[in-house]
């Protein structure tokens, strides 16, 4: 078995976190699995833990489409290739591919023109040329089938997990004195709907609370504009990318976590927040009801007034808040990277 480790060259978003966590778990399951990547990696610590092998002269899609198949045919022609990050070499047929969502097909305007065109050309070919497709949720499975005409029997749902470092500060889950801020975590892209969240935040009756937004932007997305609304920079803080240690602190200390996304194939941040003992209010769109179950308070992401109302329900009701914390901890424990990797490993070995 070989894993396409091109993700080691990409900045960390949900896709790369999935690929890294799955790979680390797969390496633990079977140390004989080979991880191969271009030379321009940025996650050196992960590469070292995986004993990754680097080769080739190209990077990005060129490396994946041309150099990776040549390497496999020369060094491991009978091995199945596992692809974890939405793309795969279309000329190599003995492979499995993970498709996290179809947002660039469903909503191409959310992405740069170049990325949307590339995805539209590449994704159908990846799906057709793979022996099996892994998706993160039943929602994504249905989207792949609907948009690409893929037989659902070819698509296997394997949920993401929650890293073990996402946990409450102590066994005492009741927060007697959380910091006075609302937290949201996501890439700064249109589908994450920060414009709607900021508008909802401006409607809150409580004026001394802050909104903290953690996440970075990328060239693959259309230019993110928080909307034609006035942003109070004294109350709304964009902290950019934060490492996992700081992210855990933010989850633990927030009064609540809000996730207003318009479209999700899975949605890791709400589960991470739950695992850290933070109550959650999330969008009722995409996969989020499937993933968050009864452990979150839901709102219509297209209605800022509804977002504001659900936020205020949690801020003003300590019993509801405590109930969400408890149910969130239970929900988060249902998602485990090792268990997910075992499912993927078994499916790939059966091909």
Q: What is the pLDDT of residues 37-92, one digit of tens each?
A: 999 999 999 999 999 999 999 999 999 999 999 999 999 898 999 999 999 999 99
* Token digits of residue 318: 């300590």
- Residue-level pLDDT at 227: 45
Q: Is the pLDDT of residue 343 over 80?
A: yes
- Residue-level pLDDT at 136: 97
Please state, for a pLDDT cut of 90, what percent of the chain lies above it: 88
Which residue stretches of 213-336 are H helix? 244-253, 268-275, 288-292, 304-316, 318-332
* CB proximity list for 347: less than 8 A, separation 6 or greater: 96, 132, 134, 156, 158
- Residue-level pLDDT at 219: 55
- Residue-level pLDDT at 226: 46
Please give the radius of gyration of the chain, using alpha carbons only, rounded to the nearest integer. Answer: 20
pLDDT (tens digit per residue) in 89-110: 999 999 999 999 999 999 999 9
If phi over 0 gives left and psi between -120 and 50 gives alpha, with beta otherwise, what is residue 267?
Answer: left
**Per-residue confidence at 26, pLDDT binned at 50, 70, 90?**
very high
Which residue stretches of the chain are H helix? 14-29, 44-50, 60-62, 68-75, 103-106, 113-129, 138-148, 194-202, 244-253, 268-275, 288-292, 304-316, 318-332, 337-349
88 neighbors 126 (Cβ within 8 angstroms): yes
Closest CA to 36 of 79, 2, 76, 74: 2
Mean of pLDDT over the chain: 93
* Token digits of residue 7: 């993700």
What is the spatial distance between Cα 102 and Cα 337, in angstroms, rounded to a whole number? 22
Q: Is the pLDDT of residue 221 over 60?
A: no
* Virtual torsion, Cα 75, 36, 48, 33, nearest 10 deg: -70
């Amino acid at each position: 078995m070989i894993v396409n480790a091109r993700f080691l060259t990409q900045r960390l978003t949900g896709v790369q976190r999935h690929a890294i966590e799955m790979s680390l778990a797969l390496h633990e399951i079977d140390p004989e699995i080979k991880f191969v990547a271009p030379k321009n990696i940025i996650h050196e610590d992960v590469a070292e833990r995986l004993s990754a092998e680097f080769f080739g002269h190209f990077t990005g899609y060129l490396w994946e489409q041309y150099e990776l198949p040549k390497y496999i045919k020369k060094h491991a022609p009978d091995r199945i290739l596992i692809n974890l990050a939405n793309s795969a070499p279309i000329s190599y047929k003995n492979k499995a591919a993970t498709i996290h969502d179809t947002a660039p097909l469903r909503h191409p305007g959310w992405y740069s023109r170049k990325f949307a065109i590339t995805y539209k050309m590449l994704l159908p070919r990846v799906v057709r040329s793979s022996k099996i497709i892994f998706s993160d949720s039943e929602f994504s499975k249905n989207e792949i089938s609907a948009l690409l005409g893929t037989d659902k029997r070819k698509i296997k749902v394997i949920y993401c997990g929650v890293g073990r470092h996402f946990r409450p500060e102590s066994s005492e889950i009741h927060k007697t004195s959380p910091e006075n801020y609302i937290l949201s975590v996501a890439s700064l892209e249109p589908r994450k709907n920060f414009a709607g969240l900021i508008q909802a935040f401006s409607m809150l009756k409580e004026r001394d609370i802050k909104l903290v937004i953690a996440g970075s932007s990328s060239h693959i997305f259309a230019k993110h504009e928080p909307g034609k609304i006035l942003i109070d920079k004294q109350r709304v803080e964009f902290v950019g990318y934060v490492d996992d240690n700081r992210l855990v602190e933010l989850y633990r200390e927030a009064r609540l976590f809000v996730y207003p996304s318009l479209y999700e194939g899975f949605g890791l941040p709400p589960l991470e927040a739950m695992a850290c003992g933070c109550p959650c209010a999330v969008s009722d769109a995409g996969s989020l009801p499937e993933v968050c179950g009864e452990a979150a308070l839901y709102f219509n992401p297209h209605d800022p007034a509804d977002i504001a109302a659900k936020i205020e329900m949690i801020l003003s009701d300590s019993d509801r808040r405590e109930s969400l914390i408890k149910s969130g901890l239970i929900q988060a424990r249902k998602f485990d990277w090792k268990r997910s990797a075992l499912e993927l490993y078994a499916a790939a070995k059966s091909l």
